[in-house]
Amino acid sequence: MAALGGARRRSLLLLLLGLPSSSYSRPSCVSHTGLIHSAAAIFVVKDANGTACIMANFSAAFTASYDTRSGPKNVTFDLPSNAAVLNSSSCGKEGASDPVLAIAFGRGHELTLNFTRNATRYSVRLMSFIYNLSDTQIFPNASSKDIKTVESATDIRADINKKYRCVSNNQIHMHNVTVTLHDATIQAYLANSSFSKEETRCEQDGPFPTTAPPPPPHPSPSPTPESPSVYKYNVSGTNGTCLLASMGLQLNITYKKKDNTTVTRVLSINPNKTTAGGSCSPQLVTLELRSESVPLLAFQFGMNTSTSRYFLQGIQLNMTLPDARDPTFKAANNSLRALQATVGNSYKCNAEERVQVTEAFSVNIFKVWVQAFQVQGDKFGSVEECQLDENSMLIPIAVGGALAGLVLIVLIAYLIGRKRSHAGYQTI
C-alpha cells in the first residue's frame, strides 16, 4: 500500500527550481471562510503481491459543524498533502469482503471508501468519515473531545475496467459533515495496476441539454401488485405474549432512479419469505420483520398510561433499491398515532388503512386485527372497530333508510290519489 501526494511533487518542483525544500512552508489545511481546493493526491492500495487494486487521485474539502462553549460553529478544512493510506485498506476477497480505501490525516481523522461491484459496474457503496474533536487545530474550542463517525451512500460509480472521472465538485452529505471531492479520478478492481484509458464521467460533468426538460407532473407508479397475504404474527417475552397481529402489508416507496426520474415502487410483504421477531417491555412492544428484499421492517407500539390506550407509535424501514440513485433507503417515524385501542381490547379494521411514515414512504395495512400489551391466553380481546368500518356500515343503513322512506312516500301518495278517485264517483 502506498500514498503518493503533493509533497513529493512539490519537492521535485522545488529541486528543479533550485530551491531548498526547507524554503517551502506548507499552509494550514484549515479554512474558516470559503472552500479552497487543495492539491490533488494519489492514493494506491496494493495486495500482498504488490499489485495495485485501487487507485484514487482527488482533492477533498471538508465542511463540518460542531458545538463550542459559545454555540455551534462551522469549519472548513482540506485533505492535506501528507494524508496516507492506512493498513486497514484492503483489496478484498471474492465472495468474502469488498475492497476498502482508508485514508488518515491529522490527529485521528479518517476518510474511508467502501467499494462494491456487480457484473457490469462498481461503485463506492459507502463513504465514512471519522473525526476527532480533540484536534484543536481543526476544531478550536470544541465543547466535546469525542471521536465522531458519519457515513453516507454515494453516487460514485463506473463501468468495470473504466475509471471514474469527475472534474466538477461532487458533494457527499454525511449528517453534519459535507465532503467535497474535486477533480477526482477513482478506480477499483484494477486490471493492470494502473488507471484505465476509458472512463465513466460523473453526472456533474454533463453534458447537459440547453433547455431542461419539464419535470413529470407525478411520479411514475409501478404496476400495483395484488393485495398482500394476511398473516398472523406474535411477539412473546418472559411474561408471555405481548403482541398479536393479523394483517397484510404493502410498502409504497418513492425514490429517484439513476436516470433522475421519480418512481413509486409498491412492494407486498410475502409472509412465506419473511421471518418475524421482536421484543416486549412494559411500555414498548416491537415487531420486526426481515426478508431478503427487506432487511428490516419494524413496528413499534407504545402505551399512554394515563388513558390506558395503546397505539402504533413508530415504523422503521431499511432496504436496498438497486436502480435508485441512492440505493440505500432508510425511513423512520416514531411519532405516529395509528391503530389505537384500549389496553386489553383488540383493534380491528377490514378496510385498507394507509399509514404515512415519511414523505417518501407509506404502508398499506389490509384486514388488520392487532392487540398489544395485555394479551390473555394468546387470544384477541374485545374488538374496537375502526372508523372506516363504522362508516362503511353506515352507508348501507343510510341507503336502506332512504329506500324505505321513498317507498313510504310512494305509498302515501298512492293512497291519497285513490281516495280522491273514489270521491269523484259519489251518487247524486
The domain ranges of the chain are: 41-204, 231-386
Mean pLDDT of 209-227: 53
What is the pTM assigned to this prediction? 0.45
Equal CATH topology for 41-204 and 231-386:
yes
% of the chain exceeding 90 in pLDDT: 53
What's the CATH fold of domain 231-386? Porin (2.40.160)
What cell does 78 get? 482540506
Let me know if 427 is exposed, middle or buried by CB neighbors in 10 A (0-12, 13-18, 19+).
Answer: exposed
pLDDT, one tens digit per residue, over 125-148 is 899 999 999 999 999 999 999 999
What's the CATH fold of domain 41-204? Porin (2.40.160)
pLDDT, one tens digit per residue, over 165-202 is 999 888 888 888 889 999 999 999 998 888 999 999 99
